[in-house]
Amino acid sequence: MPDYNTISTEQWQIMLPSDWAQKPQTDGPGSFYFEAGDGTKGAYISVFNRTDPNSSALSDLAAWRDTEIRNLHAMIDHHWEIIEEWQHDEGGTAISGSDCLERTTNYRIVCLRMTQFPWLVRVSLHDYDCTDYTASQQAFLPLIDSFAPVIT
């Protein structure tokens, strides 16, 4: 069983395997990239501010989801399949996810989103060599399960 490190802020947290190292990221100060030691898996984490306090948390996550899925389908020579999607809202924190697989290139992306006004965090887990979907599920399940708000 691998060891994990917790990546967190005052609002949210996620566990990543301890051999995943942070790599340079140029998407701005609220963006981070972590990669497995062998380079086969990675996690992009981005934090955003929500500006409309009257906007529904699930509606905001749905808008992010639609953009992510549209961007996947716009990739040339890729045919993404949405394997599973989920969403829930509890205690003012909304969480959603999309499990996406591109079988011809063995590429899997699990898009996770969480929001509680005024922040929204987006995590994209990438398996760049997903030749065994079940093994990829087992590798990502502890990460997905750990993605949660920080309870104070």
Question: What's CA 65's distance to the chain center, in Å?
Answer: 11
Exposure on the CB side of residue 41, measured as CA atoms within 13 A: 18
Name the token pair of 98.
Answer: 């999309």
Cβ-Cβ contacts under 8 Å for 9 (sequence gap 6 or more): 47, 121, 150
The CATH classification number of 25-146 equals 3.40.1000.10
Q: Does 127 have pLDDT greater than 90?
A: yes
Break the chain into its structural domains and give their ranges.
25-146
Task: Compute the residue count for the chain.
Answer: 152
Q: Does 108 have pLDDT greater than 80?
A: yes
pLDDT (tens digit, 9 = 90+) per residue, 12-64?
A: 999 999 999 999 876 677 789 999 999 999 999 999 998 888 988 999 999 99
